[in-house]
Chains A and B, each alone.
Chain A
Amino acid sequence: MRCGLIAVCLGFAGAAPAAAQLAGEPFIHDPSTVTLSDGKYYTFGTRGGGLVSEDGWTWRGGPERPGGGVAPDVIRIGDRYYVAYAVGGGGMGGGHASQVKMMWTLSLDPASPRFKFHDIGVVASSDGVETADAIDPAFLYAEGRLWLTYGTYFGPIRMIELDPKTGLRMAGNVPVDVAIDMEATAMLYRDGYYYLLGTHGTCCDGPNSTYHIRAGRARSPLGPYLDHMGIPLLRGGGKMVVSARGRRIGPGHFGRIALAGGVEKLSLHYEADMDRSGRSVLAIEPLRWTGGWPVVGETVAPGTYEIASERSGYALSLATDSVRIPFDVRRSFMAAATDPVGPIPDQTLAQDSADWPRGRIRVDLADYLVRPHQLWTITPVPAAGGYFGAPYYRIAIAGTSRMLAATPNGEVETITAATAGAEPLWQIDQLTDGSYRIKPKAVPGDGRDLALVAIGASTPTLAAFDPASPAGRWTFKRP
């Protein structure tokens, strides 16, 4: 594909970041599940530090979590944020004596008058003699009950139940062993299954860390948890959820975030960001579900794609007159098997675009023929900011400056030049089935939350996203 507007092509050559490495200073180890408080996203790591973001894309340090310790988790129940964290253990200094402590606050923002340290006390411990290590706590609040897992490779992963009204351990509750060969566990509940996720592999060795996340599931929160092969997690089972990806090595400390519209994402750290000196960084990835199992998804990678509607399977296309590729049908059907064959060249952008109007061109959904007016280049525009886990994107016909844009009346078109400061940008979120939701960053003069939706087999528009319908789901396919 030739480059119709050199500036556009050169402007992003080599400048595009990897798919979705968060902006700012997202340096953290053992992050808690990202939690929304006072309009901002928070996560806390080992020791008292944390990260905050207003949009989920650009992160900075600053937040402080009272209590110190290691590897906390946070959950909101009612107006309380419960925080569990470990003090001691982890084999640090050779010891495994540890305590899991609890606190609560009404805000995670240290500047808020509602931010206050309310100590609850110790809810689990290991004495340093037993083969157990009470660190890495993680919450699950499901079916009105509050569960907490903890533990490391030094012994089993254990499950206890807490009182969601107080955060205290339920009276008479006895820890139950649910897995081995794990640490940094997490839990989630979906469609009648309890899922136990945890990190396998070696921690804390930068680019050489073999950390990765696996999962098992059970009908009861107390197990037995089995993987997809039926292997109990108590015998070392676990289905792969995420391992090293691209320039990021050693994923661990899973946290699930359910967003509006049925979008699910996971927070985690990578032990080493190869583009950031191998430091441990926060990451946010799409969460997919396949066959009843969680698996990391894929933030759309920069590149050129067909954008296909999950409703009709037709491809997002410029609504222009089709240009035929010269072809002798009779010769094709009547040729002998031994007649010489050769390649037919792809239709070029120049051939396809010869009669395109200069200005706005509407889009439709059409039979996919791998034609230039159906090939869209997705380019991250990190300078324009981002949303939860990803930068905004430009969507343009490959090799041109013709950009997909929202119209003021909520339709979709392409334009070749944007008004200053109003470049048409898009939010692209992978959904749990692997397809994507595509939303304009803004609709001119319209404050509604709209997404690209196929309202007909061949007609796209901007409309409210319905997570139960295929109409707002799209797939990016390599040409």
Chain B
Amino acid sequence: MTGLIIDRRRAPRGSLVHWACVPLLAGLSPGTAAEPLATLGPDSIAVVADPQTAARPIPPALAPYFTAVPDAATTPDRDGFLRRWLLLEPIAKPNRTNTGFTATYVRQALAASQPGSPAAIPRDGQIKEAAALLRWHALDSKGFDVKLFDFAKALGAPTYGVIFWAVTIVDSPREQRDVRLAVGSNAASIWWLNGTEAVGLFNDRRMVMDDVLSDRLTLRKGRNVIRGAVINGPGLSSFCVRFVDEAGRPITDLTTHVR
């Protein structure tokens, strides 16, 4: 398994890291990852490779829901769901209910929690776990959905009042126009394709397949980066993501990886 750590404590003032670096960092060798790769503002998040965990098997508690990621890329399942993800351990974002997840609130909350984005300057007091070490985990979900609650619980991390970040890389054998990113999440979430916001799910949502679909998109030939963030108060957290074509059929001739 590949692991990365978000270390807010070691982020020197004034330096930057871009989110697109994250999947690249996941594949770095322990030797090259020993040095801090980027730095942020005083309350921001720095991303560093963790040489101690770069090839560690997944914790046993994750085994009911996930498997370790092998070297070879994988494909979506037969229904098109993307199962391979880099998941960041949850960022604490206390919310006693899920009823306040308006688009405005979610955008602000996720922007403030972005690991590595130049604009992700948290506001004072918004992220209480600023001193925590948060680890990236490369995982294959055993189901069509990614069970974030169980992911957090298995790691002994907070399960309520949290933000989860997820990243995967999709290689397309050709340019594919008029596809849609179809997402279900519990609760609200936002998803970006190649750096552009594609889908937003707001308010208190349950995770159902094809809940919200993006506008028509174009998948580039070759590498496409999907990143997303799920915010939840109390209750289960999870998401499912797939691409569908103009007729709503799942797109399965893709490969996914996290390196």
Contact = CB atoms under 8 A, between A and B. Distances in A.
A320 B213 CA distance: 17
A461 B102 CA distance: 22
Interface in A311-328: 319-322, 324
Contacts of A322: 102, 203
Contacts of B180: 455
A263 interface: no
A364 interface: yes
Contacts of A459: 211-213
Contacts of A409: 215-216
Contacts of B203: 322, 366-367
Centre residue among A321, A455, A456, A471 by max chain B CB count within 10 A? A456
Interface in B74-117: 99, 102-105
B69 interface: no
Nearest to A459: B213
B208 interface: yes
A67 interface: no
A457 B216 contact: no
Contacts of B246: 463
B103 A321 contact: yes
B211 A458 contact: yes
Contacts of B182: 456
B29 to A, nearest CB: 41
Interface string B173-197: 0000000101000000000000000
B64 interface: no
Given A455-B248, A456-B182, A321 B102 contact: yes
Interface in B112-156: none
B104 A321 contact: yes
B210 interface: yes
A118 to B, nearest CB: 46
B71 to A, nearest CB: 35
Nearest to A411: B215
A458 B180 CA distance: 14
Contact of B208 (A366, A367, A455, A457): A457
A361 to B, nearest CB: 11
B246 to A, nearest CB: 7
Interface in A429-479: 455-459, 461, 463, 471
User: Counting chain A CB atoms within 10 Å of each CB, which of B180, B211, B244 scores highest?
Assistant: B211
Contacts of B215: 409, 411, 461
B103 to A, nearest CB: 6
A278 interface: no
Nearest to B203: A322
Of A320, A459, A471, the most chain B CB neighbours within 10 A belong to: A459
Contacts of B201: 458
A410 interface: yes
Nearest to A311: B210
A365 to B, nearest CB: 9
A409 B208 CA distance: 26
Contacts of B103: 319-321
A457 B211 contact: yes
Interface in B205-231: 208, 210-213, 215-216
Contacts of B211: 456-459
Contacts of B212: 364, 456-459
A458 B102 CA distance: 15
Interface string A350-370: 000000000000001011000
B157 to A, nearest CB: 29
A182 to B, nearest CB: 46
A275 B201 CA distance: 49
B219 to A, nearest CB: 16
Contacts of A458: 201, 211-212
A200 B176 CA distance: 60
A336 B258 CA distance: 57
Contacts of A471: 248
Contacts of A321: 102-105, 202
B100 to A, nearest CB: 8
Contacts of B105: 321
Contacts of B208: 457
B189 to A, nearest CB: 12
A409 B105 CA distance: 28
B213 A456 contact: yes
A456 B210 contact: yes
A457 B210 contact: yes
Nearest to B205: A458
Contact of A410 (B99, B213, B216): B216
B104 A461 contact: no
Contacts of A410: 216
B236 to A, nearest CB: 18
A307 to B, nearest CB: 18
Contacts of A461: 213, 215
A456 B102 CA distance: 19
B10 to A, nearest CB: 37
A455 B178 CA distance: 13
A298 to B, nearest CB: 30
A29 B54 CA distance: 85
A321 B105 CA distance: 9
Nearest to A320: B103
Contacts of A367: 203
A367 B99 CA distance: 13
18 contacts: A320-B103, A321-B103, A321-B104, A321-B202, A367-B203, A409-B216, A455-B180, A455-B210, A455-B213, A455-B248, A456-B211, A456-B212, A457-B208, A458-B201, A458-B211, A458-B212, A459-B211, A461-B213
* Nearest 10 CB-CB pairings of A with B: A321-B102, A456-B213, A459-B213, A456-B210, A457-B211, A458-B212, A459-B212, A455-B213, A321-B104, A458-B211
Given A321-B102, A322-B203, A457-B208, 20 more contacts: A319-B103, A320-B103, A321-B104, A321-B105, A364-B212, A366-B203, A409-B215, A409-B216, A410-B216, A411-B216, A455-B210, A455-B213, A455-B248, A456-B211, A456-B212, A456-B213, A457-B212, A458-B212, A459-B211, A471-B248
Interface of A: 319-322, 324, 364, 366-367, 409-411, 455-459, 461, 463, 471
